[in-house]
Structure 1
Amino acid sequence: MNVTEGYRRDVSYGLINITSENTTITSGFHYPIPQGMDKAINGITIVILFITMISLGCTMEITKIKAHILQPKGVVIALVAQFGIMPLTAFCLAKVFQLEPIEAVTVLICGCCPGGNLSNIFTLALQGDMNLSILMTTCSTVVALGAMPLLLYLYCQGFSGLENAVPYAGIIIALILTLVPCAIGIAINHWASRYSQMIVKVGLSILLIASVAIAVMTSITLGGMLWLVLSPQLLAVASLMPLIGYLFGYILSTLFRMASECKRTIAVETGCQNIQLCSTILKVAFPLEVIGPLFLFPLIYIIFQALEALLFIVVFRCYQRRKPPTEGK
């Protein structure tokens, strides 16, 4: 038995016992990270999520939100795409590549996450509907409070040993940590809008610095273990999930005859998952002995998510430049 097989079997056993019997069972996997540094990473992860959602809230305007609420066609289509296409894609890929239970639940959590705020940046680059993008990110986060536990419960029934493995408490806590700061940001933009731009700039700067800090601390402590996550199966899943989301999101919005900018927006919103939320859930919901290096899966996912989005942006910009001047106007 090689190291990877032993790790998978031990971790899967630990997951099933912890979730079904509510007892603390340690596996053969030992997490080589100091307790102080682990607390620092947890704290920074939560701070990043909090600051990012405040900054996101500061970019939203109540009047524009009302306009989309009164004509909710785009939001409804995007919600159906987000919570219909991505969870089903994660489930099918986990089945096709025969992932281990802990790997399957990691992928399912990623697939059931709401839209991420990285999609707002991609939407801007693709000249999409920014109001729809920001509203969709917020709405999907709110809907995720009920949809995410429900979808995880339903899809986990298809895996032996995962019927009771959904970390509901951890998911709800992590989702609340995103909704509260977003509401704070909306309130700031509504009643003290003169501070909104400054908060967004400061928030993005702190986000960048904190992300670098987490990357450095993680690489120092887990650099030698990253190969455990870089299996061919997980790499294939991480590369195919966002691509399928982008394509099917665009196809679905095309079937409902949405405007071109809305098609691009819904496509991006479908394929872009809230990876920060996924990482937070994995860190909060599972003991270190259980999740092991798999909490790095969202990092691999976001790399493919960004690379594929950048490819679409390059293709779109090239297409825009080659359009006739009259059509461009």
Structure 2
Amino acid sequence: MDLISDPDSWQNGSFPFNETADNSSVVNVLAVSLQMDTTINILLVVTLCLVMVSLGCTMEVSKIKGHIVKPKGVAIAVLAQYGIMPLMAFCLAKAFQLTEIMAVSVLICGCCPGGTLSNVLALGLQGDMNLSIVMTSCSTLLALGMMPLLLFLYCKGFPNLQNAVPYANIMISLVMILVPCGIGILINHFRPQYAKIIKKVGLALIAISFLVIAIIMIIWARDDFLSIMSPSLLAIAALMPVIGFAFGYIISSVFRLSQRERRTVAVETGCQNTQLCATILKLAFPPELMGPMFMFPVGYAVLQLVEGLLLIVLFRCYKRFTKKENEIYHHPASTEDKLRDASTGNA
């Protein structure tokens, strides 16, 4: 029986349970998911609020207005987000010859808007934080219309997907971005002396929160992750962020954005809102299928974080190396000039 092409069987439960990936693994994942879901959600909400308030403290009202009045960078980021990522997900699913149910999970993730992780990575890469927040807000707002359209185009014949787009969750995500970020902007505008303290303390708490969430997720799925996630899905989860980063940077370079804006567009393109992807999967598919499908956004979330942190480390090393190289290059010349000046003065 083809579970994907027969949506009615999802509703009446008429499919045989042994057609799923690994029955015992699925049951284990679902059982633990119910226990861990509330804890992870609370941690994510607290972390998101800390992230957006801290990032808001790095923003300036005048620069935000500039990106809204001249939305070149925002338009390029939206083009990359909703043009490259869904198409790339479709091509990778075809290239790796995924089963229909796994392909749908990949496509849903590819059609999601940018996640707030991109804002944290943009800060680490010394990107344009004003552009980053505006891009994330715009892509989340546009998701109300773009996600149903993209899911219709790339997942034709799956009516439950269009019906499962969680409009309320998208609006909640938008509010969770704008309200705390707005608080940070106001603090930076009216009390800039406090903004620096909040930013430093907030970033330290963010790092701790991400570490705690990562440990919980590893404990949660340590026994079932590899048994459910096939090598093909792992490869796609690893490739999608990297390709998104690369294409985002290339497209912004073609349109001659600044280096800071290029790095910002790159991480905004490669980072996906995996929480939204997991929500759609929960709404669109029965619990028996959630085990194998839920693992892809989890894997994508972990790998995009790891790859993003690796980018930051490489970028910081590059900056430090080039800084030392410039100092070494200029130092002898300045010394020679001083000696020449001294000898000329003595003469």
**Structure 2 match to 1:175:** 170
CA–CA separation in structure 2 for the residues paired with 1:228 and 1:176: 35
**CA contact under 8 A between 1:54 and 1:181: conserved in structure 2?**
yes
**Structure 1 match to 2:139:** 140
Q: TM-score, length-normalised on structure 1?
A: 0.80
**Structure 1 match to 2:339:** none
Q: Against the structure 1 CA distance between its residues 310 and 285, is the aligned structure 2 distance closer, same or farther, given a 3 Å change threshold?
A: same
CA–CA separation in structure 2 for the residues paired with 1:50 and 1:27: 37
Query: Does residue 186 of the first structure (1) align with residue 185 of the second (2)?
Result: no
CA–CA separation in structure 2 for the residues paired with 1:317 and 1:34: 38
How far is 1:147 from its partner? 0.9
**CA contact under 8 A between 1:50 and 1:178: conserved in structure 2?**
no
How far is 1:226 from its partner? 2.4
Query: Does residue 209 of the first structure (1) align with residue 212 of the second (2)?
Result: yes
Matched residue SS, 1:32: helix
**Structure 1 match to 2:102:** 103
Matched residue SS, 1:127: coil
CA–CA separation in structure 2 for the residues paired with 1:271 and 1:34: 27
CA–CA separation in structure 1 for the residues paired with 2:305 and 2:33: 27
Query: Does residue 237 of the first structure (1) align with residue 274 of the second (2)?
Result: no
Question: Which amino acid in the other structure matches residue 259 of structure 1?
Answer: S
Q: Against the structure 1 CA distance between its residues 79 and 294, is the aligned structure 2 distance closer, same or farther, given a 3 Å change threshold?
A: same
**Structure 1 match to 2:326:** 325
Q: Against the structure 1 CA distance between its residues 190 and 315, is the aligned structure 2 distance closer, same or farther, given a 3 Å change threshold?
A: closer
CA–CA separation in structure 2 for the residues paired with 1:240 and 1:139: 25
Query: Does residue 297 of the first structure (1) align with residue 296 of the second (2)?
Result: yes
Instruction: Choose 92-101 or 281-290, whichever is displaced more.
Output: 281-290
**CA contact under 8 A between 1:17 and 1:25: conserved in structure 2?**
no
How far is 1:284 from its partner? 4.2
Percent same amino acid among aligned pairs? 44
How far is 1:254 from its partner? 0.9
Q: Against the structure 1 CA distance between its residues 285 and 244, is the aligned structure 2 distance closer, same or farther, given a 3 Å change threshold?
A: same
CA–CA separation in structure 1 for the residues paired with 2:84 and 2:9: 29
**CA contact under 8 A between 1:86 and 1:245: conserved in structure 2?**
yes
Instruction: Choose 48-57 or 63-72, whichever is displaced more.
Output: 48-57
**Structure 1 unaligned regions, length at least 5:** 1-8
Instruction: Choose 29-38 or 62-71, whichever is displaced more.
Output: 29-38
How far is 1:228 from its partner? 3.9
Instruction: Choose 238-247 or 284-293, whichever is displaced more.
Output: 284-293
Instruction: Choose 83-92 or 173-182, whichever is displaced more.
Output: 173-182
Matched residue SS, 2:28: coil
Matched pairs, number: 309
**CA contact under 8 A between 2:30 and 2:291: conserved in structure 1?**
no
Matched residue SS, 2:279: helix
**Structure 1 match to 2:285:** 286
**CA contact under 8 A between 1:106 and 1:282: conserved in structure 2?**
yes
Q: Against the structure 1 CA distance between its residues 217 and 96, is the aligned structure 2 distance closer, same or farther, given a 3 Å change threshold?
A: closer
Matched residue SS, 1:267: helix
Matched residue SS, 1:166: helix
Question: Which amino acid in the other structure matches residue 270 of structure 1?
Answer: T
CA–CA separation in structure 2 for the residues paired with 1:304 and 1:213: 15
Deviations 1:75-121 (A, max 9, x none): 11011111110000001111111211110111011111111222223
**CA contact under 8 A between 1:141 and 1:175: conserved in structure 2?**
yes
CA–CA separation in structure 2 for the residues paired with 1:268 and 1:154: 25
Matched residue SS, 1:114: coil
CA–CA separation in structure 1 for the residues paired with 2:282 and 2:259: 38
Question: Which amino acid in the other structure matches residue 288 of structure 1?
Answer: P
CA–CA separation in structure 2 for the residues paired with 1:111 and 1:126: 23
How far is 1:32 from its partner? 1.9
Q: TM-score, length-normalised on structure 2?
A: 0.76
How far is 1:34 from its partner? 8.5
How far is 1:184 from its partner? 3.0
Deviations 1:204-240 (A, max 9, x none): 3555434433432333xxx1x3234332321221222
2:6 paired residue among 5, 17, 25 = 17
CA–CA separation in structure 1 for the residues paired with 2:5 and 2:60: 45
Deviations 1:155-188 (A, max 9, x none): 112xxxx432415335324323312322331353
How far is 1:189 from its partner? 3.2
**CA contact under 8 A between 2:127 and 2:261: conserved in structure 1?**
yes
Residue pairs, 1:233-272, within 5 angstroms? 233-272=232-271
Question: Which amino acid in the other structure matches residue 41 of structure 1?
Answer: M
